[in-house]
Amino acid sequence: MASALKTYGTLIGFILVVVFFWIEIPDTFMTAKNWLNISQQVSMLAVVAFTMTIVMVMGDFDLSVGSMASLAGIVAALAFHDGYGVEIGVALALIIGLAGGLLNGVLVAYVGILPFVATLGTLTIYSGLAFLVSGGKTIFGRDIPPAFSGFARSGIPLSDTVSLPSLTLVAALVLLAVWFVLEQTTFGRRLYAIGGNKEAARLAGIRVKRLRFFAFGLSGLGAATAGLMYASRVASANPTQGSGLMLDAIAAVFLGMTMSDEGEPHVLATLVGVLILGVLGNGLTQMSIDSYVREVLIGSIIVLAVAASSIGKARG
C-alpha cells in the first residue's frame, strides 16, 4: 500500500486534478473535443519531453532543446522563403536538429564537458544562429506554404464534430518510438545501465561514450521536430519561439520520475507529467483563473510532487 502510493502518488494527483476540473467545469471539460484540444496543445512540449527523457535516463540534461526548436523552425521557414518545398524544408530542419544534438553528444561524451555546461553553451550558440540566419525577423505570411501551416490545423475526422489532430498523431508516434527504443531494445536498457552507474556500465563492456553521443542526437532530433510543429501551429518562425519548451520539458520528466521506485525517467511517466502541465493550463483557463495564479500553482505542484516523492523515498 505504502509503496503503491509512493509510486502512484503523482498519477493519483493527476486524476484528482482531472476530477476536480470535471466537477467544476461539468459542461465542457470532460469532452472528447476538449481532450483532443489538450492533446494538441501539449503535443510540442510532449515531443521535447519524450526525447529529453532519453538523455535524462542516463542522468544527463539537454538545455539546448528550446533554442534548437527555434533554430529548426527558422531553418525550415528560410528554406520555404527561398522557394524550396515543404519536404526539403522539413528535412533540412531535422538534419540541423540531429547534427546539433550530435554536437552536444560529442561535447558531453567525447570531450567530457558536463552536460549542463555543454548544452548551456550550445543553447546560446543555437539561439545566436537562429537570430543570425533570420536577421532577428519573424518569418511569416506568404513565405510559409499553406501545406506546412495547414498540417497543424489538419486532423483525422473521428466524428462530425471532432477529429484527431495531426500534431497529436505526431506526438503519439514519437511516444511510441521512444517507448520502443527505451523499453524494448538493448540500446535503451544500456542507457538505463549508464544512468544507474556509468563506471559499472563501462566496466560491463557498454560503450558509454558512443551511446551518450547517439542519445543526445535523438534529443536534438526531437527538439527540431517540436520546432517544426510549433512553426506549423503558429504559421511563422521566430528566433525565440521555442525557448519556453526546455524548462517545461525538464519539469515534465521530473514529474514523471516521481512515479518510479528508482527515480528513473520512463517515457510513459513523462507523458503523465506533460498531461499534468497541459490539463492545468487548459482547465484553469476555462475556470477564468488569473494567468499568474496559474503559473504559481503549476510551479507549486511541480515542487510539491517532487518533494513529496523524494521525502517518501528517503524514508522508505
Partner 1 sequence: MTATLRKRLPAAALFLSAVFAAGAATAAGKIAVITPYLAQPGTQFYVEAFQAAAKDKAWDVNVIDTKGDVAAVISRLEDAATQKVDAVVINVDPAQVEAGLAAVKDAGIPVVGMDAGASPYLVTNVTSNGYAMAADTAAYVANRIGGKGNVVMFVFDAFPPVQVRGVIADAVFGNNPDIKVLDRVTPDVSDGGIADSRAKMEALLAAHPDKGSISAVWAAWDQPALGALQAIEAAGRQNEGIVITGIDANPQAREAIAAGGNFEASMAQDFHGIGRAAAEAVAQTLAGKPPKSSVIYVPTKLITADNVKD
Find the binder of partner 1 among 153, 198, 202, 209 (CB under 8 A).
Answer: 153
Q: In angstroms, rounded to a whole number, what is the distance separating the alpha carbons of residues 176 and 52?
A: 14
Interface characters, 196-215, with partner 1 (x: CB under 8 A): --------------------
Q: In angstroms, rounded to a whole number, what is the distance separating the alpha carbons of residues 16 and 151?
A: 34
Find the binder of partner 1 among 51, 104, 270, 282 (CB under 8 A).
Answer: 282
State how far the alpha carbon of 216 is from the alpha carbons of 101, 169, 179, 182, in Å.
Answer: 5, 24, 16, 14
Q: In angstroms, rounded to a whole number, what is the distance separating the alpha carbons of residues 217 and 119?
A: 12
Q: Decide: is 81 part of the binding site for partner 1 (CB under 8 A).
A: no
Q: In angstroms, rounded to a whole number, what is the distance separating the alpha carbons of residues 275 and 10?
A: 11
Q: In angstroms, rounded to a whole number, what is the distance separating the alpha carbons of residues 95 and 72?
A: 9
Write down the least CB distance from residue 145 to partner 1, Å: 14
Q: Decide: is 225 part of the binding site for partner 1 (CB under 8 A).
A: no
Interface characters, 102-141, with partner 1 (x: CB under 8 A): -----------------------------x---xxxx-xx
Distance, C-alpha 103 to centroid of its chain: 19
Q: In angstroms, rounded to a whole number, what is the distance separating the alpha carbons of residues 54 and 203?
A: 22
Find the binder of partner 1 among 152, 194, 208, 259 (CB under 8 A).
Answer: 152
C-alpha cell at 21: 476540473
Please choose, from the candidates 183, 65, 69, the residue with its C-alpha nearest in 3D space to the C-alpha of residue 115: 65
C-alpha cell at 164: 484527431
Find the binder of partner 1 among 14, 34, 250, 256 (CB under 8 A).
Answer: 34
Q: Decide: is 179 part of the binding site for partner 1 (CB under 8 A).
A: no
Residues that bind partner 1 (CB under 8 A): 1-2, 5-6, 9, 13, 16-17, 20, 24-25, 28, 31, 33-34, 37, 40-41, 44, 131, 135-138, 140-141, 149, 152-153, 230, 233-236, 238, 240-241, 243-244, 281-282, 284-293, 297, 300-301, 304-305, 307-309, 311-312, 315
